[in-house]
């Protein structure tokens, strides 16, 4: 039943704050896996809940629960139904029809039967965010059961989203505390937090996982304001023990190389590991429709990457197909410049956000000017957008 070993969780339900225990964090992933991959699930047409079953002994084994205190385990499972969680801390894109208000891990209290089975249910929104997400982190169900600290487990899950990203992720101190599950009022001193939470977590994650976590401290004066996180895979190429995932990666990889030619292995790995096949095929089709082939006979890689990052969409209505080649060339170049301008703006906005936590008025004022200038460049660039296009 647990032949496949991983689940893909939308980043919005990975980057979250809760007071889940180490045991509960492991339980959640096993139950999500069973709900997605298992055969014992049913959904009522009149309910938003999806009900599932799993033998209690199977769950115990999957989370490495080596104790006879089954009552303790049952209480941990039951607590997931009432645990309040703050989702989507890094404000990633989620489907517009989703609201996280009052969304709990389990949808209602679980039921324990005398035949050693457990009945549990998830809200369909939760399963939608873990079934075929466009932007996700991949959680190894077996590996996650080995972690000994809830902070290490949280760091592992959150890090899966950032493997081999082209740009490191900057996370504010308060947000970083939350994604690690550090309770408010605990380890308030940055040195204390590093000694008791961050350093041990990095050590365990780097020891157990197939990637390396590196953190650079961000400061304003002598005050720690956040961390710049870098995740590098230990693998030199995309390797997976899951045959279906390997086949899927191979298929989409060939398609990308066929349409775009030689592409950096780091960039390719980042694309394949963080976006679904369906999403990538959509962006390949979009690029082929709106981008003009280069002299090499291949479509431009920068346009394709921009379509992925900014989720370019087909318009429902179709304009005439006689757009001249000059306009198409201008559109490609315009989109490339827009992506660069927006990336530059986000970088300085992050810097300003950190500066605002300090009392350095001169630095804040200087950064505000830079951000305003970047925003003005973006606004001005929109005024130069080619008229005959459907690209953005």
- For 52, phi and psi rounded to 5 degrees? -140, 165
Q: What are the pLDDT digits (tens) for 1-12?
A: 333 478 999 999
Residues 6 or more apart whose CB falls under 8 angstroms from that of 152 comprise 200, 201, 204, 205
Query: Closest Cα partner for 209 from 269, 145, 265, 266?
Result: 145
pLDDT band at 246, cuts 50/70/90?
low
Phi then psi for residue 119, to 5 deg, are -105, 130
Residue 166 and residue 257: Cα distance in Å, rounded? 19
The Cα–Cα gap between 160 and 179 comes to: 13
The chain-wide mean pLDDT, for the chain, equals: 83
DSSP run (H or E) holding 78 = helix 70-79
Q: What is the DSSP string of 171-214?
A: EEHHHHHHHTTPPTTSS-SHHHHIIIIIHHHHHHHHHHSSEEEE
Question: Which residue(s) pair with 213 in the sheet?
Answer: 231
In CATH, what number does 1-144 get? 1.10.10.10
Is the pLDDT confidence value at 123 over 60? yes
| pLDDT value of residue 84 | 87
Contact assessment for residue 352 and residue 373, using Cβ atoms and an 8 Å cutoff: no
pLDDT by residue (tens digit) across 192-216? 999 999 999 999 999 999 899 999 9
Closest CA to 197 of 214, 177, 216, 212: 177
**For position 238, what pLDDT does the model report?**
40
Statement: residue 120 has pLDDT above 90: yes
**Exposure string (b/e) for 241-256, b if CB count within 10 Å is 16 or more?**
eeeebeeebeebbeeb
Report the percentage of the chain scoring pLDDT > 70. 86
Confidence (pLDDT) at 240: 41
Instruction: Please give the sequence-ordered ranges of beta strands (E in DSSP) within 80-124, or none if there are none.
Output: 111-112, 117-123
Condensed to tens digits (0 to 9), the pLDDT of residues 264-320 reads 777 788 788 778 888 898 899 999 988 888 877 888 888 888 888 777 887 644 444
Say if residue 337's pLDDT is above 80: yes
CA separation, residue 72 to residues 67, 79, 269, 305, 390 (Å): 9, 11, 41, 48, 57
Report the pLDDT value the prediction gives residue 56, as an integer from 0 to 100: 93
- Does pLDDT of 383 surpass 90? no
Structure confidence by residue, pLDDT tens digits, 74-87: 999 999 999 989 99
pLDDT band at 173 (very low <50, low <70, confident <90, very high): very high
Two tokens at 359? 């009392």
Instruction: List Cβ neighbours of 106 (8 Å cut-off, separation of 6 or more).
Output: 31, 77, 80, 81, 120, 121, 122
Q: Tell me, what's the pLDDT at 92? A: 82
Write down the CATH number for the domain with range 147-234: 1.10.10.10
Read off the tokens for 50: 């999806």
Q: What is the mean pLDDT of residues 148-162?
A: 95
Higher confidence at residue 63 or residue 100?
Answer: 63
pLDDT, residue 248, reads 62
8 Å CB contact between 268 and 158: no
Q: Does 390 have pLDDT greater than 50?
A: no
Q: Give pLDDT, residue 43.
A: 62
Tokens representing residue 257 in the block? 């190389």
Predicted local distance difference test score (pLDDT) of residue 341: 82
- Judging by beta carbons within 10 Å of its beta carbon (0-12, 13-18, 19+), is residue 272 exposed, middle or buried? buried
- What's phi and psi for 126, nearest 5 deg? -60, -45
Q: Whole-angstrom Cα distance, residue 221 to residue 205?
A: 30
DSSP secondary structure string for all residues of 261-328 = -S--HHHHHHHHHHB-HHHHHHHHHHHHHHS---TTSS--HHHHHHHHHHT----SS---S---HHHH
Instruction: Name the 3-class secondary structure at 43.
Output: strand
pLDDT score at 270? 76
Query: What φ, ψ does residue 212 adopt, rounded to 5°?
Result: -115, 130
pLDDT at 370 over 60: yes
Split at pLDDT 50, 70, 90, the class of 329 is low
Predicted TM-score (pTM) of the model is: 0.62
d(CA 330, CA 389): 10
Percent of the chain with pLDDT over 90: 42
Q: What is the mean pLDDT of residues 127-131?
A: 88
Q: Give the span between the Cα atoms of 210 and 4, in whole angstroms.
A: 17
Q: How far apart are CA 313 and CA 308, in angstroms?
A: 10
Residues written for the chain = 392
pLDDT tens for 64-75 read 998 989 999 999
């Amino acid at each position: 039943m647990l032949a496949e070993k991983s689940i893909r969780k939308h980043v919005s339900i990975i980057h979250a704050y809760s007071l889940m225990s180490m045991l509960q964090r492991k339980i959640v992933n096993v139950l999500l896996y069973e709900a997605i991959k298992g055969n014992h699930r049913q959904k009522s047409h009149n309910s938003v809940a999806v009900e599932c079953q799993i033998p209690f002994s199977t769950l115990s084994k999957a989370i490495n629960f080596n104790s006879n205190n089954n009552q303790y385990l049952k209480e941990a499972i039951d607590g997931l139904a009432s645990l309040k969680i703050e989702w989507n801390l890094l404000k990633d894109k989620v489907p517009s029809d989703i609201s996280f208000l009052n969304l709990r891990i389990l949808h209602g209290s679980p039921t324990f039967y005398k035949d050693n089975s457990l009945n549990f249910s998830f809200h369909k929104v939760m399963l939608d965010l873990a079934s075929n997400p466009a932007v996700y982190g991949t959680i190894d169900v077996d590996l996650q059961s080995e972690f000994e600290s809830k902070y290490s487990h949280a760091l592992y899950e959150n890090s899966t989203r950032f493997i081999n990203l082209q740009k490191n992720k900057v996370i504010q101190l308060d947000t970083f505390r939350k994604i690690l599950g550090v309770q408010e009022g605990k380890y308030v001193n940055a040195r204390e937090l590093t000694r008791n939470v961050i350093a041990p977590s990095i050590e365990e994650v780097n020891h157990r996982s197939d990637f390396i976590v590196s953190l650079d401290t961000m400061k304003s004066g002598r005050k720690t304001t956040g961390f710049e996180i870098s995740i590098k895979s230990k693998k030199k190429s995309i390797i997976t023990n899951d045959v279906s995932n390997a086949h899927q990666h191979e298929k989409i990889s060939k398609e990308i190389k066929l349409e775009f030619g030689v592409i950096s292995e780091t960039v390719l790995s980042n694309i394949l590991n963080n976006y679904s096949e369906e999403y990538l095929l959509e962006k390949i089709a979009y690029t082929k429709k709106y981008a003009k082939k280069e002299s090499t006979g291949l479509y431009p890689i920068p346009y394709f990457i921009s379509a992925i990052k900014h989720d370019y969409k087909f318009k429902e209505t179709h304009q005439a197909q006689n757009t001249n080649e000059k306009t198409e060339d201008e559109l490609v170049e315009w989109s490339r410049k827009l992506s660069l301008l927006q990336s530059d703006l986000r970088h300085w906005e992050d810097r300003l956000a950190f500066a605002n936590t300090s009392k350095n008025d001169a630095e804040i004022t200087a950064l505000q000017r830079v951000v305003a200038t970047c925003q003005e460049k973006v606004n001005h660039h929109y005024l130069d957008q080619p008229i005959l296009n459907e690209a953005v």
